[in-house]
């Protein structure tokens, strides 16, 4: 296939996944306003699926600004979830318990299978945005862009590897995400009796990405190249299509607040989380 055929195949797979996952459901979308969630929101809009966008974070965080701009472009209903220090503190405890449960249930699996890490600053801060969307959204089903950064080489670390090293690491990271990472999001949503839908991680799309040429993931220094081309194919603005990534824990301000909470308890963040595990 040539480049445009790959782009249109990706579009077709995403639409098919969205139609299958969201049919006859009221949908919330965890929406940062970034490339991945904006593509999903635009495709949902194009196929006539009603959605409500939610963004969580501390007051005046970067994700609020990004989500507001993208929601305006897409004419989406956007609900902001403004988080206080106290709420994040309570959320950290509950999320630590959720992730600890996943760890305990999977730590003795055969070595050939992926193993979850014990709760840590990254895993907790990365999953808390969905935690709060699940807590405050009225809809039973939540869709998000989980998986896109891994499968399409969105993380800066992939640029530091040789082509072959990057190909191998992307494959390993995607397999780990499918086996274990998804559990973190599913269990987080289930805590609030919600279900999370992850169209990027459907098996057909994962297989497509495994066979996608490296140059359509990373071209020069441009990560997620094919997703950016898809964004233009579905008529998203350059501002969305070429928006630089800011990880959820930083764009929401959640990591900053977590560190502040730990510091107020005279601990490092890792020490504070270990204390939460012992409760």
pLDDT at 269 exceeding the cut of 80? yes
Please state, rounded to an integer, the average pLDDT across all residues of the chain.
Answer: 94
Query: Which 3-state string (H, E, C) describes 165-221?
Result: HHHHHHHHHHHHHHHHHHHHHHHHHHHCCCEEECHHHCHHHHHHHHCCCHHHCEECC
Q: Write the pLDDT tens digit of every residue in 231-262.
A: 999 999 999 999 887 788 899 999 999 999 99
Arithmetic mean of pLDDT, 213-217 = 97
Residues with Cβ < 8 Å from 75, sequence gap 6 or more? Answer: 45
- Residue 54: count of CB within 10 angstroms of its CB: 26
DSSP state letter for 160: G
The DSSP bridge partners found for residue 219 are 222
Using pLDDT thresholds of 50, 70 and 90, give the confidence band for residue 115: low
What digits encode the pLDDT tens for the residues 162-208?
Answer: 999 999 999 999 998 888 888 999 999 999 999 999 999 999 999 99
Where along the chain do its domains lie? 3-277
Residues 6+ apart with CB under 8 A from 234: 11, 39, 42, 43, 46
Could you tell me which residues come within 8 angstroms of residue 92 by beta carbon, excluding any fewer than 6 positions away? 124, 128, 258, 261, 273, 276
The pair of structure tokens assigned to 272 is 């504070």
Question: By percentage, how much of the chain surpasses pLDDT 70?
Answer: 98
Find the length of the chain: 279
CB neighbour list of residue 103: distance below 8 Å, 6 or more residues apart: 116, 117, 118, 119
Task: Please check the confidence at residue 111 and state whether its pLDDT lies above 70.
Answer: no
Model-level pTM?
0.93
> What pLDDT is stored for residue 118 in this prediction?
86
28, 52 contact by CB (below 8 A) = yes
Residue 162, SS3 per DSSP: coil
Give, for 52, the enclosing helix (H) or strand (E): strand 51-58
**What average pLDDT does range 90-118 have in this prediction?**
84
Residue 112 has pLDDT above 70, yes or no: no
User: Which tens digits make up the pLDDT trace of 142-158?
Assistant: 999 999 999 999 999 99
pLDDT band for position 19 (cuts 50, 70, 90): very high
The fold for domain 3-277 equals: Rossmann fold (3.40.50)
Q: Look at residue 157 in the predicted model and tell me its pLDDT.
A: 92
Helices (H) and strands (E) in the chain, counts: 14, 7
Instruction: Say which residue, 135 or 108, is predicted with more confidence.
Output: 135
């Amino acid at each position: 296939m040539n480049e445009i055929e790959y782009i249109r195949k990706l579009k077709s797979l995403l639409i098919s996944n969205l139609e299958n996952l969201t049919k006859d459901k009221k949908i919330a979308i965890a929406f940062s306003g970034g490339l991945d969630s904006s593509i999903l929101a635009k495709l949902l809009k194009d196929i006539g699926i009603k959605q409500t966008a939610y963004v969580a974070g501390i007051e005046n965080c970067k994700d609020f600004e990004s989500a507001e701009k993208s929601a305006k472009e897409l004419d989406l209903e956007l609900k902001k979830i403004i988080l206080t220090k106290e709420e994040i503190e309570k959320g950290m405890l509950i999320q630590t318990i959720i992730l600890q449960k996943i760890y305990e249930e999977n730590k003795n699996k055969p070595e050939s299978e992926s193993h979850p890490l014990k709760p840590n600053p990254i895993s907790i801060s990365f999953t808390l945005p969905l935690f709060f969307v699940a807590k405050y959204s009225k809809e039973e089903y939540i869709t998000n862009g989980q998986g896109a950064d891994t499968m399409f080489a969105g993380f800066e670390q992939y640029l530091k590897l040789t082509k072959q090293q990057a190909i191998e690491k992307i494959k390993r990271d995607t397999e780990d995400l499918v086996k274990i990472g998804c559990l973190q999001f599913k269990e987080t949503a289930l805590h609030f009796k919600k279900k999370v839908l992850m169209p990027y991680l459907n098996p057909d799309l994962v297989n497509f990405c495994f066979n996608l040429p490296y140059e359509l993931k990373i071209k020069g220094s441009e990560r997620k190249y094919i997703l950016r081309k898809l964004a233009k194919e579905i008529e998203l603005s350059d501002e969305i299509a070429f928006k630089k990534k800011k990880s959820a824990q930083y764009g929401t301000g959640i990591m900053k607040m977590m560190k502040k909470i730990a510091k107020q308890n005279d601990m490092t963040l890792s020490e504070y989380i270990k204390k939460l595990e012992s409760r």
